A and B are shown apart, each in its own frame.
Chain A
């Protein structure tokens, strides 16, 4: 927007804190898993991905980030339909690393995700809610959680990529925009990786305003390659890398 006003922050090292917001909307993933077994997928073989395959790409991506630098930190937050929650924080269990063993993140993540999804489903079955109408995930909630966490850490070089599948919910517009402006002010870039069929206007605006990267991968089988080449770059290196730029930004509110 005001291109001259935001001063560029100089990052002195390549340590980064990455907060990944993973969209676990069961409505979206169920429909895409059904489509992947369909004959229609012959025509669009690359457009769909099931949730288990997604995890196959995301978990090695998180591990690779931790390998890049000893001080990198990764936090995983899941966005459900009825709640959001912290799944994994690489700083936990730091005492065990004294023996030299790297804690096995994979099993912990899967276990916690399983718990989260059952809890999410239970919340949806409450007596007072008719959830059938809300198919969108709670992006604003998880963005707010992530920003509060980052604020607590206060280090330079923090980012947020967000794999996201389901459509935007217009009722969250104001909340999402509030979160985006806060991120812009604290200079936290929001990167987005969209795996649904259509583009997400909210995430396009978020990445544009905060100076992050917006990507809609063409070939979802190679998702890990997209993640590790585009989103694993730390903020210091971004100044001399040519990252994908969006063709146009959709500023609509819905």
Chain B
């Protein structure tokens, strides 16, 4: 009864002005609830804002007896990592999958009105830009032979922010510039623009597009289905990460072109989904043509050699690399020689991609409860970091072991080995281990 009266009063306040406040003061002493609701309603107090911003209730969960406790992030992170690893290995275990290592990726960022919504801190656009910087570094780290460009969608029109290039610095510099959002988003215009640029790519490169889409609609000048068919014929693989909700046209686009469509639930999930696109995807059979690609391996110039470099058109002393075909000097690798067009790389760049082709086998979990064999002695320390497994008496912390060399490793080393190092220290420390 009183709650419905309170609701009525709130509506009156919105509609009228002074009259409503006078009425509220008259009946102010009747119900305390109404006054509290008024204060909460405005939310201008700092404590109210702090709760709204931080959402501290999301860090708690209930345990078996119904009491609250903070979420155990370490175990959660490890469980997530295990799931991801097993998924990846299950897919590639049955057959040797070809992966596209030379990728030409266009990153399309939606800067429409929907990108200024503040459900990601401080706004979707800023969160996306920050994640994009991390993604760009990760992308060039894992795919040193690839190229990337950035396109933005604003006011229903797509603009190219940076040209497709092989250096992360220029992309990141453009992202850090002022970004404003307004207007509508248009999927078709973005696809048309990118289709135009990607049609000039040589046939051995894998053409990919990644959309970061915040809007819930698309305002297109023509038939988007035709554009999707055009992209499919041009072998462009489109993936999309949605920030708001799933909708049909995105799903259709990704299904037709063979990409993946995911929707992010919150900021950390978004970052996870985004970074999943950094390692090379398995190649689609009809898109991958096996070619011989001509590449040059330049020698590094000695210190003190004076030459004019072809990228800055300036005199440089020392360092630099000489193109093996036309002897022009370039400043950094990997790049293309500006004079003769030869792709220049150095062998460490190629070596950076090897771990995609020869991954480390996942380790098996060792349960500390029941020993596998009665005679098997428990490993006391992690083989790689010498951290002791036994703590607080005889209870040993969970650890894993490599199926090939049977050495025990702790959980942190397991994550490090599979995600960064890509070498099993136990297998490498045995003779006769060939890749």
Contacts and interface: CB of A to CB of B under 8 A. Distances in A.
To the question of whether A and B form a pair in one complex, the answer is yes
Interface of A: 1-5, 81-84, 86, 89, 123-124, 129, 131, 134, 138, 140-142, 144-145, 147-149, 151-152, 171-175, 177-182, 185-186, 205, 209, 245, 247-249, 251-253
A83 B354 CA distance: 24
- Give the interface size class of chain B: 35 or more
A89 B385 CA distance: 11
B431 A145 contact: no
Given A1-B333, A175-B423, A185-B420, 6 more contacts: A5-B140, A145-B384, A151-B416, A173-B351, A248-B302, A251-B300
Contacts of B421: 144, 147-148, 178-179, 182
B346 interface: yes
B325 to A, nearest CB: 17
Contacts of B435: 171, 173-175
B332 A145 contact: no
A145 B420 CA distance: 13
23 contacts: A1-B332, A1-B346, A3-B331, A138-B429, A141-B425, A144-B424, A144-B429, A147-B416, A148-B413, A148-B417, A151-B413, A171-B433, A171-B434, A174-B351, A174-B354, A177-B348, A178-B421, A182-B421, A185-B420, A205-B348, A245-B303, A247-B303, A248-B299
Contacts of A82: 430-431
A171 B430 CA distance: 13
A80 B303 CA distance: 36
Given A1-B349, A245-B303, A251-B347, A149 B420 contact: no
Contacts, number: 135
Q: Which residue of B167, B333, B385, B412 has the most chain A CB atoms within 10 A of its CB atom?
A: B385
A84 B422 CA distance: 18
Instruction: Give the interface SS of chain A, mostly helix, strand, loop or mixed.
Output: helix
B141 interface: yes
A250 B385 CA distance: 31
Q: Which residue of A152, A209, A252 has the most chain B CB atoms within 10 A of its CB atom?
A: A152
A175 B355 CA distance: 9
Given A86-B386, A152-B387, A152-B412, A247 B348 contact: no
Contacts of B420: 182, 185-186
Nearest to B303: A245
B59 interface: no
B428 A81 contact: no
A248 B429 contact: no
Closest 6 CB pairs of A and B: A141-B429, A148-B384, A141-B428, A177-B351, A144-B425, A152-B385
